[in-house]
Amino acid sequence: MQTILITGSTRGIGKGLAREFLRLGHQVIVTGRSAAAVSAATAELAQPARVLGVVCDVRQPASVQAAWDAGVARFGRIDVWISNAAVATDRTLLADLPADQIQATVDTNLLGTLYGCQVAIRGMRGQPAGGKVFTFEGFGSDGIARPGLSVYGSTKRALRYLTASLAKECAGTNVLVGSLSPGIVATDLLLYSSKGQDPVEWERARRTLNILGDTVETVTPWLAREALAMTKQGARIAWLTPAKAAGRFATSFFRKRDILSELEARPNLTVR
């Protein structure tokens, strides 16, 4: 039985991963900034003996360290750390973005991952069995650029460098560093970062998202198994490969998919 800490795991992909790790028989530390959200998520997971909920603001190093300490105090060690927490700005050109949105996105996506990796690597070096640390990719990680996604994409692009650099720093140690790339997953974050375009642009984007996208329930079982099985330093675990994307487009005329309708019906969408 392993212990896995996932930042930003009170909803979306993070909560989906928590559910899958539990299904596989492991222990999970669920974190989020809101005590109410953490409480609701842990209650929903309904495995009190194997779930610990911790309020953690990844933008604050002391809060990240406290999450590690709480996990170790409860379960004795943390074997896998996944820096999943992320937010997005409004779909607005950089010149027109409020400064607080820029700050929040950089602090959460980039600094939050840096702090998480620092705390996890430092802690795992002192564990006999070491551990695994994962960054989390997103739009922009591969260098693709879109207007209105400059800040979010920049933070995710930076994580490619961070993962590669940390893999070199941890080479020859008992700590493995890798990245998880879920592809396009139907979450609040996806919808929030995709909208804000004119109606014609949104309909075009919506068609592409429905072709290439997947649900949390489809992607997270595979990601969880691959994360546990990873043995290569610096490995990138990617769900949506170029071959898979090409196959989706090739069959899209015959196989209609709709992953967004249910998500779009939800009220009060927010990611900050």
Task: Cite the beta strand spans of the chain per DSSP E.
Answer: 3-6, 27-32, 51-55, 80-82, 131-136, 175-181, 236-238
- Say if 154 falls within a structural domain: yes
152 is catalytic: yes
Task: Please tell me the predicted confidence (pLDDT) of residue 271.
Answer: 43
Length in residues, the chain: 272
* Mean pLDDT over each residue of the chain, to the nearest integer: 88
- Say if 51 falls within a structural domain: yes
CA dihedral for 133, 138, 140, 143, sign (positive or negative): positive
Task: Please tell me the predicted confidence (pLDDT) of residue 196.
Answer: 56
Residue showing tokens 């991952």 = 113
- Say if 148 falls within a structural domain: yes
Order of strands, edge to edge, in the sheet holding 175-181?
A: 51-55, 27-32, 3-6, 80-82, 131-136, 175-181, 236-238
Q: Is residue 115 very low, low, confident or very high in pLDDT (cuts 50, 70, 90)?
A: very high
What is the number of structural domains in the chain?
A: 1
CATH label of the domain that carries residue 101: 3.40.50.720
65 DSSP assignment: H
- Say if 253 falls within a structural domain: no
Q: Which residue segment(s) compose the domain that 142 sits in?
A: 3-184+216-240
Q: What is the tens place of the pLDDT at every residue in 187-222? A: 666 555 555 556 666 667 667 777 777 888 889 999
Most confident range (mean pLDDT) of 58-62, 202-206, 256-260 is: 58-62
